[in-house]
Amino acid sequence: MNFDKTSNPTLGEGIINRFSFAATDRAMTVQGSINKTALLLALVVAGAAFTWSKVMTSIESGVEVGINGWMIAGSVAGFIIALIISFRQNLAPFLSPVYAICEGLFIGAISAHFEVMFPGLVLRAVLLTFSVMFALLFLYKMRILKATQRFRSILISATAGIAIAYLITFILGLFGINMNFMYGGGSMGLIVSLMVVGVAALNLVLDFDFIENGSESNLPAYFEWYAAFGLMVTLVWLYIEILRLLAIVAGRRD
């Protein structure tokens, strides 16, 4: 399959062409990528547990512990590190663990806030995220879903459109313009959230495709970290969007 194009921003153009069959002591493997993904996931959970406990302790004690600083720092640092790794893949073994911890800090804080508003929401979001991942992995392994060029092109356009919409919403928010009709709890917000969850989920297919074909193409071993990082980026995005979708549904019921 062709790796020249992918909608996942961490899996840039020409990677296979530039690095396949490179002289290396050890090449990338599927099992190695799985192991790295498991490690990054554990680090995300560790970071999330820290800020989650801080939020819950703050709520129980009634004392503000400045958790927003941890959440913002984790989000900003994670974004910067993601950009660096995207352009310097050889740094993935060193920076991916840091990225995972930073994202964990952000996820833990925002998850705790959602849990306070809607008890039980976070567990459902976690279960749904992994259920979607394994379902898509099954569909990919059975070749029911294939990362064809047309599939990639459509997903590239959809993902780019979502990214632009996020950026526009952020900029408008700086000027006090609210986009709640699209991202709030109304019918439009629900439809938009469902569409974004669908696009985020389908990006997993491209991640699986990269891991499989990267291993077959004998990419250098450090691409195991890069592939794990790319998969983690998608999973974090998918989890946040599922969390938001479930919150919209729960809010409509209240």
pLDDT tens for 27-41 read 899 999 999 999 999
Residue 13 located in a structural domain = no
Is residue 1, in this structure, part of any structural domain at all?
no
Cβ neighbors of 75 (< 8 A, separation 6 or more) are 102, 106
pLDDT in 10s for each residue of the chain, 254 residues? 333 344 455 554 455 555 554 445 688 999 999 999 999 999 999 999 999 998 888 777 765 556 778 888 899 999 999 999 999 999 999 999 999 999 999 999 999 989 989 999 999 999 999 999 999 999 999 999 998 899 999 998 999 898 888 888 878 777 777 766 566 667 787 888 899 999 999 999 999 999 999 999 889 999 999 999 999 999 999 999 999 999 988 886 65
Encoded tokens for 100: 């995972």
17 within some domain: no
Integer Cα distance of 146 and 37 in angstroms: 22
Tokens of 214: 């990267």
Q: What is the pLDDT of residue 23?
A: 45
CA dihedral 107, 113, 115, 117 (to 10 degrees): -150
> Which tokens sit at 174?
């700086």
- CA 191 to CA 246: how far, in whole Å? 12
Question: 160: domain range?
Answer: 25-253
| Alpha carbon distance 235, 62 (integer Å) | 33
Please report where in the chains the tokens 């790319």 appear, as a residue: 230
Residues 6+ positions from 113 with CB-CB distance below 8 Å? 55
The total number of residues shown for the chain amounts to 254
Nearest-angstrom CA–CA distance, 207 and 125? 21
What does the alpha-carbon distance between residue 218 and residue 32 come to, in Å, rounded to a whole number?
12
Helices (H), the chain: 15-19, 30-61, 67-87, 92-117, 121-141, 149-174, 180-183, 187-216, 223-253
In a domain, 50, yes or no: yes
Which position has the token pair 């999973």? 235
How many domains does the chain divide into? 1
pLDDT of residue 4: 39
pLDDT at position 13: 42
Q: Tell me what pLDDT residue 56 has.
A: 85
Tell me the three state secondary structure of residue 236: helix
Under 8 Å between Cβ of 25 and 83: no
Structural domain contains residue 6? no
Q: Does some domain include residue 153?
A: yes
Q: Is residue 10 part of a domain?
A: no
Q: Output the pLDDT for position 68.
A: 77
Contact at 8 Å (CB) between 229 and 37? no
Q: How far apart are CA 200 and CA 151, in angstroms?
A: 14
CA dist., res. 140 & res. 156, Å (int): 18
- Within a domain: 123: yes
Give me the pLDDT at residue 43, please: 97
> Which among 233, 238, 235 is positioned nearest to 79, based on CA atoms?
233
Task: Give me the pLDDT at residue 131, please.
Answer: 97
Residue 29 is predicted with a pLDDT of 95
Enter the pTM of the model.
0.86
- Position 239 scores a pLDDT of 97
